[in-house]
Amino acid sequence: MQTDSSFTFVLFGGTGDLSMRKILPALFEAHRAGGMLADSGKIVAVARHVADRGEYLQWVDEHVKPHASKNGVDEAAWTSFLARIELVKIDLGNPEDFAQLRDAIQDMPGIRVFYLATGPSLFVPICHALAAVGLNHNARIVLEKPLGYDLKSSNAINDAVGEIFAEEQIYRIDHYLGKEPVQNLLALRFGNALFEPLWRREWVESIQITIAEELGVEARGDFYDNTGALRDMVQNHLLQLLAIVAMEPPHSMDSDSVRDEKLRVLRALKPIDPHEIGKVAVRGQYHSGVIRGNAVPAYATEHGVKPDSSTETFVALKVEIENWRWAGVPFFLRTGKRLADRVAEIVVNFRAVPHSALGASALRAGANRLVIRLQPNETIRLYCLAKQPGEGMNLASVYLDLAFDRFFREAQMEAYQRLLLDVINGRLALFVRRDEQEAAWRWVEPILNEWKASTKLPKPYAAGTWGPAAASAMLAQHGTCWLEEEN
């Protein structure tokens, strides 16, 4: 893809973890690939604790390069990438300093992108300071999650940012929307007539969406302990995946058609009845355990975590969608840290045949299912029953397998690369609109409130397992189980 969309990409938090691991490596990859970034495009890092541009480039060399290319860095491309980078040294807490930023970038070309890779408490002050020096025109602003702590605080940020930037200028990142397999889910659903007639309550018994991680809270104990899995993963990534799985076919792939359809799903989520929370929501917290042969400590002993913390590191939910397509179909969502495996997948369990002439196994739930594995190793498998070779009519489970690396030789594009290119090129479809974000907060809030008020602690689970037993019991009540429990 050739582009001539010139840009000035201003990166607030230029020495932060996100810049180091994700944003600068993604920009480098787009630069290296050639033709994706306009030659005249500039990257302006905003940082305070580096002496000058030379020192910053040295930092980039030492810290960003190791994350920059999986298969070694092309040195010529790296040198020309560094040449794009400028540094502006200002104190973000001091609005007067923003005049220096304005002076530094005023003659730079193209659209201005302000990427706020900072703590959320700086979002509003930065926007005000940008507006005060007239930098909110010909500009786009990118906001990282978490955007707020609940509906009220998210509204406060959105109101304040919205006074300075129009909604079409605001790019709210949910990096799951930039993942290749999530794009592929849209292709699967809306590029094939095959699935559409089956994608509804008449044929689907239940749907599971899991994002499981082996990692714990790493160096983010402090942040995580004030956040928890519901805010960190469910309010955004899991509800966005749910919306994509459940949405109606959009009229086109333009930004508002897709986002309108996702919004309809989010607004149709059956509100959680506070009295029923024990039946539809399970929260857990990991204790010490063993993952792939290595002993790992309990959450409560992680750096930055309060020893008596009641923060959840695991959530499982039963969600219902109140519309004609999905009424009565349970969607089971699950996410957790320090689980047995790192896997993100969507499992669509179809109903069993209404009558079996071939014995009881054909009536088994899950005989027909579609498993969409998002990561690692993207695959889509359609499970069916087939006759086992030999005498008699014995059925066994087999699958049609779509393994993308067998069909496509091209490397997958990293989520951040796709999303940053979309910001530079003004494509909003993969960013979360304010009304979607509000609907998601509104839906999770009763759970947050109930858990906050509850004297019950999250259920313990050993690191390296699949979470508390209560998460399995919740599915058992519906005559089903999590996918890994079948094997």
CB of 21 to ligand BG6, least distance (A): 11
Taking every pair of Cα atoms in the chain, the longest distance, rounded to a whole number of angstroms, is 84
- Cα–Cα dist 292/304, whole Å: 25
Q: Is 214 in the site for ligand BG6 (CB under 6 A)?
A: no
Which residue lies nearer to ligand BG6 by CB, 3 or 412?
Answer: 412
CB of 180 to ligand BG6, least distance (A): 12
Does residue 250 have a cis bond before it (omega within 30 degrees)?
no
Which residue lies nearer to ligand BG6 by CB, 58 or 226?
Answer: 226
CB of 229 to ligand BG6, least distance (A): 8
Q: Is 225 in the site for ligand BG6 (CB under 6 A)?
A: no
CB of 394 to ligand BG6, least distance (A): 39
By rule CB under 6 A, what count of residues binds ligand BG6? 2
Residues 34-73 that bind ligand BG6 (CB under 6 A): none
CB of 204 to ligand BG6, least distance (A): 25
CB of 213 to ligand BG6, least distance (A): 5
The residue within the footprint of ligand BG6, chosen from 213, 225, 345, 438 (CB under 6 A), is 213
Site string for ligand BG6, 288-327 (x = CB under 6 A): ----------------------------------------
67 in catalytic set:
no
Exposed, middle or buried: residue 295 (CB in 10 Å: 0-12, 13-18, 19+)? exposed
Q: Is 232 in the site for ligand BG6 (CB under 6 A)?
A: yes
- Cα–Cα dist 456/418, whole Å: 42
Which residue lies nearer to ligand BG6 by CB, 20 or 130?
Answer: 20
Reading the block at residue 327, the tokens are 């009424």
- Cα–Cα dist 298/290, whole Å: 10
Which residue lies nearer to ligand BG6 by CB, 343 or 367?
Answer: 343
Q: Nearest-CB residue to ligand BG6?
A: 232
- Binding site per annotation, positions for NADP(+): 48, 91-92, 145
- In the set 237, 251, 275, 303, the catalytic residue is 237
Q: Is 438 in the site for ligand BG6 (CB under 6 A)?
A: no
- Cα–Cα dist 29/180, whole Å: 15
Q: Is 86 in the site for ligand BG6 (CB under 6 A)?
A: no
Q: Is 180 in the site for ligand BG6 (CB under 6 A)?
A: no
CB of 191 to ligand BG6, least distance (A): 24
Binding residues (CB under 6 A) for ligand BG6: these are: 213, 232
**Which residues are tagged catalytic?**
237
